[in-house]
A and B are shown apart, each in its own frame.
Chain A
Amino acid sequence: MSESSPLRRLAPPRVGPFREDAFSSPLHSVRVASILGIALGVTFTVCFLTGFLSHLIQHPPSFFDWPARPAWLYRVSQGVHVTTGIASIPLLLAKLWTVYPRFWTWPPLRSAAQAIERAALLPLVGGSLFLLFTGVGSIARWFPWEFSFPPAHYAAAWLTIGALIVHVGAKAGAARLALSSRSAEGSAAGLADEQGWGGLSRRGFLGAAFGGAAALVVATVGQTLRPLAAVSVLAPRDPRIGPQGLPVNKTASSAGVIDAASSDEWRLTVGGNVPNPLSLTLDEVRALPQRDADLTIACVDGWSAAARWRGVPVGELLRLAGAGEGSTATVVSLQRPGAAYASSDLSAGQIADPDTLLALELNGAPLHIDHGYPVRLIGPNRPGVQQTKWVASVEVS
């Protein structure tokens, strides 16, 4: 704002996008930007909170104890995370289109406060595009980048939300004014101006942005909302399709466990801090008391599918081994140690839940090897990556 800014005195280059009438469409409006901005503020906040929750569940700090109940909570929160992210794509592109002339604003810098605000647009715009691009790539398992998706997506989320907070602080007043009935754009004269333009009206533009978001939601949400599975023709998953009617994330061959999992030498061991360590053959595990549970595989990728499982409650197994009340445990797979998601931790509360099973059967038949034969972990309210397959041992601590 300051007249003393040296850039203020620079004559603007009156060419191309710097021309005063370069962007004549009435869609480049503060009112439209405010409506889209509020929508994106909501969707990005929802994505941030649900994403942070998923991060806490997978990397729990000492104060965080993720409960086994309600069983549907992770399924819903991660489904909301992915679906809301997908819905944000048309909204973000529309928002960027609306404010695009600002990219060419002249003079580029006016004051320290405005310079900081503009600098924060890089983490805002770059971060938003990064989050949606890597998110879609990840659910499509297309990784055209070198970094590891979860920690990079996590870091980008903090950068983006921080920049969003700065942006809201800078724009809240302008947005409130633009949305008020006193604003020039909301007046009859403003609407008349718009009608003289003869392109996409503001109402039509917003309709396309929100309609596109709705279309993408319907075209994908059936991967977690089974009744819509038939119409979600663009979803990377179909909860009805897979061995034994259930989708698979990691196959036995890609995990390199086919030989070990189908070997007669396979044993389930329970060790660690227990007075009576166990080493059981598959027949011995089958001979233990079994329990049925209807539980959902809820993948971090946003799909989920329910099924009926039958197996031995982990709590019962630990009692057989003499584990103390309140013990925690790590369930370890046959996968190469150190491989991603080759083991997962169970809290005392999760072990105490009778539906936390070492499952032998799925929908009335022995587990398909891609579902974790001979034995897999399945428990209520856990991310799919923590439902360890091809279990070899349970380490009690």
Chain B
Amino acid sequence: MSAELPPPFEDAPEHTSRYGPLYWSALVVGGGFMAFGLVALFSKAGATDPANFAVFFVGLALVHDLLLAPAVIVVATGLRRASSRTGRELLFGALVVSAVIALFSVPMLFGWGAQPDNPSFLPRNYAAGLALVLAVVWGLAAAMLLRRRSGGGP
């Protein structure tokens, strides 16, 4: 199926990085920012806890690259086989948006930071809130599907 597609990020000139003067000057400036970041990190090591900092800094990248992205590929591949061509795009779009919104809501939803003596923090019913937002997302997707089926839209 991919035979007709141009390979992504092929090494055509337009796809490759350029290591000209712009790159080398960016490296000097960006390197300065990063050096300052390391100073900020280690000069307050008692507060920033560089070892624990590194666990999250590197760990989150690994969780994304080795767990989250492959999981999305597996789910998307399965759904692609299981879904009909009609509406697949809207299904995927609504799923992606729903997943990101749900991911953001997790700490509020479970109330991990709730303070029993402070009812003004996390004052809402976040399960109902998430359900409402997702209902709007899927409602919009359904409306767009109907519009496409009736030939009214792109």
The smallest beta-carbon distance between B137 and chain A, in angstroms, is: 7
User: Could you say which residues of chain B place their CB within 8 Å of the CB of A114?
Assistant: 17, 19
User: Could you say which residues of chain B place their CB within 8 Å of the CB of A144?
Assistant: 112
Instruction: Find out whether the CB atom of B101 lies under 8 angstroms from the CB atom of A215.
Output: yes
Interface mask (A302-313 → B, CB under 8 Å = 1, otherwise 0): 000000000000
Q: Which residue of A lies closest to B11 (CB)?
A: A1
User: Could you say which residues of chain A place their CB within 8 Å of the CB of B30?
Assistant: 120, 161-167, 169
User: Could you say which residues of chain B place their CB within 8 Å of the CB of A193?
Assistant: 4-6
Instruction: Find out whether the CB atom of A234 lies under 8 angstroms from the CB atom of B52.
Output: no
The smallest beta-carbon distance between A146 and chain B, in angstroms, is: 4
The smallest beta-carbon distance between B142 and chain A, in angstroms, is: 15
Interface mask (A54-95 → B, CB under 8 Å = 1, otherwise 0): 000000000000000000000000000000001001100110
Interface residues of A in 4-35 (CB under 8 A from B): 20-21, 23-26, 28-30
A-side interface size class: 35 or more
Instruction: Find out whether the CB atom of B123 lies under 8 angstroms from the CB atom of A237.
Output: yes
Instruction: Find out whether the CB atom of A134 lies under 8 angstroms from the CB atom of B100.
Output: no
**CA separation between A154 and B6, bound complex, in Å?**
41
Instruction: Find out whether the CB atom of B5 lies under 8 angstroms from the CB atom of A26.
Output: yes
Which of B47, B88, B118 is within 8 Å of A151, CB to CB?
B47
Interface mask (B1-21 → A, CB under 8 Å = 1, otherwise 0): 111111111001111111110
Instruction: Find out whether the CB atom of B49 lies under 8 angstroms from the CB atom of A152.
Output: yes
Interface residues of B in 5-62 (CB under 8 A from A): 5-9, 12-20, 22-27, 29-38, 40-41, 44, 47-49, 52-53, 55-58, 60-61
User: Could you say which residues of chain A place their CB within 8 Å of the CB of B139?
Assistant: none
**CA separation between A208 and B137, bound complex, in Å?**
10
Instruction: Find out whether the CB atom of B33 lies under 8 angstroms from the CB atom of A161.
Output: yes
Instruction: Find out whether the CB atom of A103 lies under 8 angstroms from the CB atom of B34.
Output: no
Which of A99, A126, A249 is within 8 Å of B58, CB to CB?
A126
Beyond A158-B37, A169-B27, A236-B121, is A134–B115 a contact (Cβ under 8 Å)? no
Interface mask (B130-141 → A, CB under 8 Å = 1, otherwise 0): 101100110000
Interface mask (B61-77 → A, CB under 8 Å = 1, otherwise 0): 10011000100100010
Which of B7, B22, B48 is within 8 Å of A147, CB to CB?
B48
Report if A238 contacts B (CB, 8 A). Answer: yes
**CA separation between A129 and B66, bound complex, in Å?**
14
User: Could you say which residues of chain A place their CB within 8 Å of the CB of B23?
Assistant: 113, 117, 166, 169-170
Beyond A117-B17, A198-B88, is A241–B60 a contact (Cβ under 8 Å)? no
Q: Which residue of B lies closest to A252 (CB)?
A: B117
Beyond A130-B56, A133-B60, A184-B6, is A172–B31 a contact (Cβ under 8 Å)? no
Report if A136 contacts B (CB, 8 A). Answer: yes
**CA separation between A171 and B124, bound complex, in Å?**
43
Which of B1, B33, B40, B133 is within 8 Å of A24, CB to CB?
B1
Residue tally, chain B, CB below 8 Å to A: 89
Report if A199 contacts B (CB, 8 A). Answer: yes
**CA separation between A347 and B8, bound complex, in Å?**
56
Q: Which residue of B lies closest to A94 (CB)?
A: B96
**CA separation between A30 and B15, bound complex, in Å?**
7
The smallest beta-carbon distance between B46 and chain A, in angstroms, is: 9
Beyond A140-B113, A163-B34, A254-B115, is A178–B14 a contact (Cβ under 8 Å)? yes
**CA separation between A146 and B48, bound complex, in Å?**
8
User: Could you say which residues of chain A place their CB within 8 Å of the CB of B128?
Assistant: 233
The smallest beta-carbon distance between A301 and chain B, in angstroms, is: 9
User: Could you say which residues of chain B place their CB within 8 Å of the CB of A171?
Assistant: 17
**CA separation between A249 and B2, bound complex, in Å?**
54
**CA separation between A204 and B96, bound complex, in Å?**
11
Interface residues of A in 233-263 (CB under 8 A from B): 233-238, 241-243, 246-249, 251, 253-254
Instruction: Find out whether the CB atom of B27 lies under 8 angstroms from the CB atom of A116.
Output: yes
Beyond A171-B17, A212-B96, list 12 extra A-B contacts (CB 8 Å): A100-B65, A113-B19, A116-B27, A122-B61, A133-B60, A151-B48, A156-B37, A158-B33, A174-B16, A212-B101, A235-B124, A237-B121
B interface with A by C-beta (< 8 Å): 1-9, 12-20, 22-27, 29-38, 40-41, 44, 47-49, 52-53, 55-58, 60-61, 64-65, 69, 72, 76, 80, 85, 88-90, 92-93, 96-97, 100-101, 103-105, 107-108, 112-115, 117-124, 126, 128-130, 132-133, 136-137
5 contacts between A and B (CB under 8 A): A155-B44, A165-B29, A184-B6, A200-B92, A253-B117
